[in-house]
Structure formats: structure tokens, C-alpha cells
Amino acid sequence: MIKARVVVTLKNGVLDPQGKAIEGALGSLGFSGVGGVRQGKVFDLVIEHDDKAKAEADLKDMCEKLLANTVIENYTIALS
């Protein structure tokens, strides 16, 4: 069994209205000096076999097909 974490974040230059909204909210809560807030997604998955190479390849495929919109998002895969 392999545990995997996929982190999907917006590519640089892509506008992040959610991040901007959070930045504004943090400011109004009194947190000064906080900038560049960007929000992304994280997926924790369990791969039910022990072949790390196959898991990595499958996860890349899952990202390309479902977990990430590769036009505007980057993804990273970490196995543990």
C-alpha cells in the first residue's frame, strides 16, 4: 500500500480571485504584511499495491485526466 499526496496549484500569472478574497479578509482581520495568497487543492490517496514506479505513472495520469486542469494548474506528486 502506498500513500500519495497530490498538490494542485495555479500556474504563475493565472489570476486567483479566491486568493485575493482571502488576502482581503486577512487584512480586515488585522493581519498586516500578508501578500501573494494563492489557494490550491491537495489530494491524499491510497494506492493499493506497492509498485512505486507504477503508482507514480498512474498518479501522473490521474492528474492529467482529472485532478488538475493542466492548462492553468501545476501539480506535484509525493509518495510515502
Residues that bind its own copies (CB under 8 A): 7, 9, 19, 22, 25-26, 29, 31, 33-49, 58, 61-62, 65-67
Q: Tell me how far, at minimum, the Cβ of 1 lies from its own copies, in Å.
A: 9
Helix H or strand E encompassing 54: helix 52-62
Is 35 or 71 the residue whose CB approaches its own copies more closely? 35
Q: Is the dihedral of CA 17, 22, 28, 32 positive or negative?
A: negative
Q: Tell me how far, at minimum, the Cβ of 71 lies from its own copies, in Å.
A: 19
CA 52 to chain centre: 20
